[in-house]
């Protein structure tokens, strides 16, 4: 059983875990599909996005997140046999500033921060994360973005950098709990690094649940919301 008293820091994946991006992306891509005559379900579209971003995030040097989204849009357009609309492409790159927070995010993070350090480990750029932090009404104690480390999770650069930041505060890895919705990007690498982890398996969400060893992910705790996590760990 995980107890908050066993940890001095809780680190979070942000998008999918704290920010509810998936319905927004489905709606946005569905509007695009309707406009350009693409016959695809919402699930088809979100999984096309998931496949595209997983491949693009492996490319080095790493792209800033707006550019990663542009390239995702290019690949999705190609997959469905549609010419790339440049205006839509650019609009898609700016959507992170519109993605909303889950209803339990702000209060949950504030409750945790009153008792432990909290960190954000995110495959995003600094400006987009700043917009999301405003929506969450929170300032993280430790922030590691893809822009900062030049790589995307599940690469270990995020985790190693966060652990180094926390070690500088006297917090060892065994006193860190990592929380994420993505099995691929968060729970699997946390397992490999020996970190305790909690999987927030948000209902009806699909991103990050396949590929890259996701099937072998073994969280120490599984819940469906941040509120449930707080109740479970006390």
Active-site amino acid positions: 13
Nearest to 205 by CA among 52, 25, 14, 16: 16
Nearest to 122 by CA among 11, 4, 2, 6: 11
Buried b or exposed e, range 27-49, using 16+ CB within 10 angstroms:
ebbbebbeeeebebebebbbbbb
Compute the half-sphere exposure of residue 58: CA atoms within 13 Å on the CB side of its CA: 8
> At 60, is the secondary structure helix, strand, or coil?
coil
Beta bridge partners of residue 118, listed in sequence order: 10
Q: Find out whether 131 and 15 touch, Cβ atoms under 8 Å.
A: no
Which structure tokens are listed for 174?
């065994």
């Amino acid at each position: 059983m995980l107890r908050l008293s066993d940890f001095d820091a809780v680190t979070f994946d942000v998008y999918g875990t704290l920010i509810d991006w998936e319905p927004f992306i489905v709606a946005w891509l569905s509007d695009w599909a309707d406009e350009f005559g693409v016959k695809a379900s919402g699930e088809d579209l979100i999984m096309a996005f998931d496949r595209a971003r997983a491949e693009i995030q492996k490319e080095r040097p790493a792209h800033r997140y707006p550019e990663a989204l542009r390239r995702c849009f290019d690949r999705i357009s190609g997959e469905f046999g549609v010419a790339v609309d440049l205006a839509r492409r650019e609009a898609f790159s700016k959507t992170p500033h519109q993605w909303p927070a889950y209803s339990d995010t702000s209060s949950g993070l504030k409750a945790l921060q009153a008792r432990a350090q909290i960190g954000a480990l995110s495959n995003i750029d600094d400006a987009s994360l700043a917009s999301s932090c405003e929506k969450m009404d929170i300032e993280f104690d430790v922030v590691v973005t893809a822009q900062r480390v030049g790589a995307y999770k599940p690469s270990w650069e995020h985790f190693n950098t966060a652990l180094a930041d926390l070690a500088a505060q006297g917090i060892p890895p065994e006193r860190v709990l990592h929380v994420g919705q993505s099995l691929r990007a968060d729970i699997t690498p946390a397992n490999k690094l020996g970190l305790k982890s909690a999987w927030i398996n948000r209902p009806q969400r699909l991103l990050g649940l396949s590929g890259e060893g996701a099937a072998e992910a073994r969280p120490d705790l599984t819940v469906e919301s941040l509120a449930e996590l707080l109740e479970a760990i006390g």
